[in-house]
Amino acid sequence: MKILITNDDGINAPGIVALAEAMRDAGDVVVCAPDSQQSAVSHSITLHKPLRCKDVPNFPVEGVRAFSTNGTPTDAVLLGIHAVFKEKPDVVISGINGGPNLGADVTYSGTVAGAMEGVIAMVPSIAVSMGAFENLRYKDCASFTRTLCEIVFKCDFPKDILLNVNYPNVAPEEIKGVAITRLGQRWYDDVVHERVDPRGRKYYWITGKKVLYGPKEGTDAFELERGYISVTPLTLDLTHDPVIKKLGDILANPSEFTESKCEFPFDVVRNPG
């Protein structure tokens, strides 16, 4: 099995080392990851500067080929496939991220984007994140990830789906189980801090410490909080199916739905759904 590992915390992050260690004897393992912290870069791709893909001879896991790039996690996956393996791997694993990726986090996450790029290449892919920020039990999570790969990706599993895993940072005996979840709602409060620089000019720092959860059973944040390992199947098709028909109805006959007199000087073509 050819295994491509990436992350967004950078090639020197402890999470990627733990993951490579857990996967090392599962097949031909290549680690290709950014040379610096790339968290929250989302699915960005580098198109306007040269990309390097450097050998990392001192990567601390024996038997694993490791490379670093000056690009993003998405770039790292593309380089891993096209410059290192020179063919599609059997699986792409992105992580282990030092912090959760729940709900809307997946739209900012470089970790999740690494797995998205794998799915775009039609390679079964998985994004893995720890459900906490400190004293992280990467080794336990890496071991779970190895088992999950062995089970799921040896089945006839759809290739256009990625799995987003969030692992509770507790001892294995305290884990309640594995929950198949959907994306939940999670908001950061106190997001933009206004400060003043030494010259008296305002500047801003985006942060958001306090997290608010939408408490809903079956969602990733809720089940993680209850002590379950959250596994969410994600698709890149962001289309909202239930609203397709209604949107066609509204745009074709606005006067039935609103007092507004606006209408388009064009035909509205309904989507067959």
What is the binding site for Mn ion (CB under 5 A)? 8-9, 39, 97
SS3 assignment, position 219:
strand
Residue 57: CB minimum distance to Mn ion, A: 24
Q: Given the complex with Mn ion, which of 2 and 186 has the nearer CB atom?
A: 186
Please name the amino acid found at residue 197.
D
Q: Given the complex with Mn ion, which of 171 and 206 has the nearer CB atom?
A: 206
Residue 97: CB minimum distance to Mn ion, A: 4
Residue 98: CB minimum distance to Mn ion, A: 6
Residue 155: CB minimum distance to Mn ion, A: 29
The C-alpha angle 21, 9, 103, rounded to 5 degrees, equals 105
CB 179 within 8 A of CB 230: yes
Distance, CA of 236 to chain centre = 11
Q: Given the complex with Mn ion, which of 4 and 13 has the nearer CB atom?
A: 13
Could you give the CA distance from residue 262 to residue 176 in angstroms, rounded to a whole number?
55
Residue number closest to Mn ion, CB atom? 39
CA distances from 198 to 55, 57, 90, 192, 207 (A): 42, 44, 53, 19, 21
CB proximity list for 110: less than 8 A, separation 6 or greater: 7, 8, 34, 38, 39, 40, 41, 42, 72, 73, 74
Q: Given the complex with Mn ion, which of 16 and 148 has the nearer CB atom?
A: 16
Residue 6: CB minimum distance to Mn ion, A: 11
Q: Count of H helices and E strands in the chain? A: 7, 13
Q: Given the complex with Mn ion, which of 101 and 232 has the nearer CB atom?
A: 101
51-62 burial: b if 16+ Cβ within 10 Å, else e: bebeebeebebe
Q: Given the complex with Mn ion, which of 108 and 152 has the nearer CB atom?
A: 108
Residue 73: CB minimum distance to Mn ion, A: 9
